[in-house]
Amino acid sequence: MTVSIERQGEIAVVTVNNPPVNALSQALRQGLFDAAEALDADRSVKAVVLACAGRTFIAGADVGEFGKPPMPPHLPDLVARIERAAKPWIAAIHGSALGGGFEVTLGCRFRVAVSSASVGLPEVRLGIVPGAGGTVRLPRLAGVETAVDMVTTGTPVGARKAHEAGLIDAVIEDDLVAGAVAFARAALDRPLPDALRDRPVAAVAEGFWEAAAKTVAARAKREEAPLSALACVRRAAEVDFETAIAFERETFLALRGSAQAAALRHVFFAECAATRPPELAGVTPWTIRSAAVIGGGTMGAGIAAALRDAGLPVILVERDDGAVERGLANLRAIFHSAAKRGRISTDAAADRMAGITGTTDYAALSDVDLVIEAVFEDLDVKRDVFARLAAACRDNAILATNTSYLDPERIAEGIRRPERFLGLHFFSPAQMMKLLEIIPTRASAPAVVAAGFALARMLNKIPVRAGICDGFIGNRILKVTRAQAERLLLSGATPPAVDAAMRAFGLPMGPFEAQDLGGLDIAAFQRKAARARGETPFAPIADRLCAIERFGQKSGGGWYDYAPGDRTPRLSETVASIIAEEAKDWPRPDWDEDAIADCILLPMVNEGASILADGTALRASDIDLVKIHGYGFPRWRGGPMHYAQAQGLDKVVEALNALATEGLADPPCELLLEAARHGGFSDASR
């Protein structure tokens, strides 16, 4: 049953039970509405405790209902019904009271919570604003500043901080429902506070709204919802309650149907789906309680930091004592910077370092649960490391490689118990980037693959399963992006024009700026390996830049010139003349920003479709997650595959055919043509 009522003397306890997260489906809204009616009619009831069964309080409106016409009772009416109930309602919160769930508690007269609970209005993350009075009641409860912060960032607040901010009335240490019932009894002995709708909004300092608008706009970039959420709170402070509620609802309904909200909803469900692949349902992962990292360079240090952030003890293995010291110094720098930015305290930084042991001795690994290798991208070096690991580690220790392009099957060739081996591909900087590509070999045991997904959860990362090919999902698409960027140069566009167009689309930086930052040498190595395999990678200009050692910022120049100590890209005469020489025979259409973006994005989608066709990715939405969490693709665009679907795949096919006719892209692959005929990629619509 969704809603049940139990009595503890004069206190009624209403329990919501709508697994998995007690989302406010139509049936639940109706159940709560009916409960409010029934309890108002029952004279023996003096107060009502609202609690939830399962792992969390109400986690919000049912996002799955957002694409459908709203069904009564509407959430704002339910919240209003609870607020004007004849007896006070007390919300008893565990887990998360989010969105509509928190708004329901704002209709209650009191809120109590266990210390591990959190409350918040995360609607902006779904491209919408709170739609059931959150922006209007919250400033009446906790002041305008707290309300603006919560609704424009969407960040939840932990129970203790929520108590300090006046968002909840008490933190209950022991049994939540018993504590809430006791709280209710005590409250009945005192005069009741006003319902939130009847409280005033405290005035703000002069200039507050202008300053808030600047801050929110800068943070939101091109997302619409945060500024709309700010507008709602402002309205709540400036007009009467009912007018503000109407404005909020109107804003909510308008945004709910927007392209950004559809994209963000798609990403929300993609993330839920990615963490629990159906093929691993019921598989118990191998346990991970301790870890080691081999190699303390850029990636190894970042991975070790991520493992420490999750509380795992870490052993760092390097080639020699000097390299151990350098690796530990890299880690110290990461934690120092995190402390400097206020992300962790200095005590926490010291504690993170204290949990790391640096060594050159593989014998130290005899009891670790997980080893991640991040040494040079060289097959022989990696094989040598795994031969040693296979001998030094327990048979049930998971052995993982962070290779970017090498074939994990070949790295693992010949190791004892290959079922414990898999690829775990992190993205730089590994302590910050959310993506983790999980790459099983043919021999990887399902429980080991499941452990990869469990690790991602531990590290607060988004796991995506990828098959073996050159570059897995992310770097394989990156190769296409780069090749397209060069094709644009050969046909009349310039590096700044291409970079500006991709920024305008919403990427944090363009393809040439990004290469100059990361270095052109890594891709050059990878092209060399591809040529050795008989392939013909396309990078005529990048090849010439590497030949004259223009590797990017680190060598003082790449696609752009850089003055010493200055990261500002400047136009390069050298690059311009190389482009002119290479470009001789290419067509030269006029490129505007949209045409440039299409010329890069649509071939990415085509490659994504090939990746689906050969099984390298299991779902189109996984490809979206890879690009969003590994490469900065704007979340509000939903990822390249969603973007293409939102444009209409038939249009994408047509545009790709036109580019192919001009020699500017490959024609659409069979799976893309088929998806266009069937109106979408099979999993990508919800």
CA neighbor of 10 nearest in space, from 176, 185, 183: 185
Q: Which long-range contacts does 630-633 make (Cβ < 8 Å, 24+ apart)?
A: 630/427, 630/433, 630/434, 630/435, 630/437, 630/474, 631/427, 631/474, 631/478, 632/507, 632/508, 632/509, 633/506, 633/507
Sign of the alpha-carbon torsion through 275, 460, 622, 118 = positive
Q: Which of 60, 99, 100, 107 is catalytic?
A: 100
Which tokens in the block code for residue 31? 């159940």
Sequence-distant (≥ 6) Cβ neighbours of residue 286 within 8 angstroms: 369, 396, 398, 420, 447, 448, 450, 451
Catalytic residue among 36, 59, 91, 103: 103
Residue 173 a catalytic site member: no
Active site includes 100?
A: yes
Which listed residue (130, 179, 327, 630) binds ligand 3HC by CB under 6 A? 130
Q: Which is nearer to ligand 3HC, 28 or 599 (CB)?
A: 28
Tell me the backbone φ, ψ of residue 533, rounded to 5 degrees. -85, 0
477 contacts ligand 3HC (rule: CB under 6 A): no
The yes or no reply on residue 374 touching ligand NAI (CB under 6 A) is yes
Q: Are 433 and 450 in contact (CB under 8 A)?
A: no
Residue number with CB closer to ligand NAI (316 or 612): 316
659, 662, 661, 680: which is closest to 671 by C-alpha? 680
Rounded Cα distance, 203 and 489, in Å: 55
Q: With contacts defined by CB under 6 A, how many residues of the chain interact with ligand 3HC?
A: 28
Q: Nearest distance from residue 55's CB to ligand 3HC, in Å?
A: 6
Select from 12, 47, 106, 126 the one that contacts ligand 3HC (CB under 6 A).
126
For position 113 contacting ligand 3HC by CB under 6 A, the verdict is no
Residues 378-397 that bind ligand NAI (CB under 6 A): 381, 385
By the rule CB under 6 A, 62 interacts with ligand 3HC: yes
Walk across the sheet containing 118-120 and list its strands: 96-98, 118-120, 157-158
Which residues touch 317 (CB under 8 Å, ≥6 apart)? 292, 293, 294, 295, 359, 360, 361, 362, 364, 365
In DSSP notation, 469-523 reads STTTTHHHHHHHHHHHHHHHHHTT--HHHHHHHHHHHT-SS-HHHHHHHH-SHHH
For residue 60, the partner it binds in ligand 3HC, ligand NAI, none, with Cβ less than 5 to 8 A by kind, is ligand 3HC
Nearest to 639 by CA among 620, 624, 652: 624
Catalytic residue list contains 123 = yes
Contacts of 277 (CB under 8 A, 6+ apart): 453, 465, 618
The tokens describing 351, both together, are 């504690």
Strand partners, 3: 16
Specify the stretch interacting with ligand 3HC by CB under 6 A; choose among 19-27, 429-437, 534-542, 668-676.
19-27
Nearer to ligand 3HC, 122 or 418 (CB): 122
CB of 452 to ligand 3HC, least distance (A): 17
Question: Least separation, in Å, of the C-beta of 156 and ligand 3HC?
Answer: 8
Residues 259-318 that bind ligand 3HC (CB under 6 A): 269, 272-273, 276
**Which of these ranges, 84-92, 277-285, 295-303, 609-617, lies near ligand NAI under the rule CB under 6 A?**
295-303
Q: In angstroms, how far is the first alpha carbon of the chain from the final one?
A: 26
Picked from ligand 3HC, ligand NAI, none, the partner binding residue 20 (CB below 5 to 8 A depending on kind) is: ligand 3HC
Binding mask 69-108 for ligand 3HC (x = CB under 6 A): ------x--------------------x-xxx--x-----
Instruction: Tell me if 300 contacts ligand NAI by CB under 6 A.
Output: yes
Q: Which two tokens stand for residue 253?
A: 């309904």
375 binds, among ligand 3HC, ligand NAI, none (CB under 5 to 8 A by kind): ligand NAI
296 makes contact with ligand NAI (CB under 6 A): yes
| Structure token digits, residue 499 | 């970079």
Beta strands in 258-333, from DSSP E residues, in sequence order: 291-294, 314-317
Q: Does 238 bind ligand NAI (CB under 6 A)?
A: no
Nearest CB to ligand 3HC, comparing residues 134 and 630: 134
Query: Whole-number minimum distance, CB 679 to ligand 3HC, in Å?
Result: 23
54 is catalytic: no
Helix runs in 568-616, H state only: 573-582, 593-613
Q: What is the spatial distance between Cα 292 and Cα 300, in angstroms, rounded to a whole number?
A: 10
Options 31, 88, 107, 122; binder of ligand 3HC; rule CB under 6 A = 122
Choosing from 35, 36, 47, 61, the catalytic residue is 61
Report the interface residues with ligand NAI, using CB under 6 A: 294-300, 317-319, 323, 374-377, 381, 385, 402-404, 426-428
- Indicate which residues carry an active-site annotation: 61, 100, 103, 123
Q: What is the binding site for ligand 3HC (CB under 6 A)?
A: 20-21, 23, 55-56, 59-64, 75, 96, 98-100, 103, 122-123, 126, 130-132, 134, 269, 272-273, 276
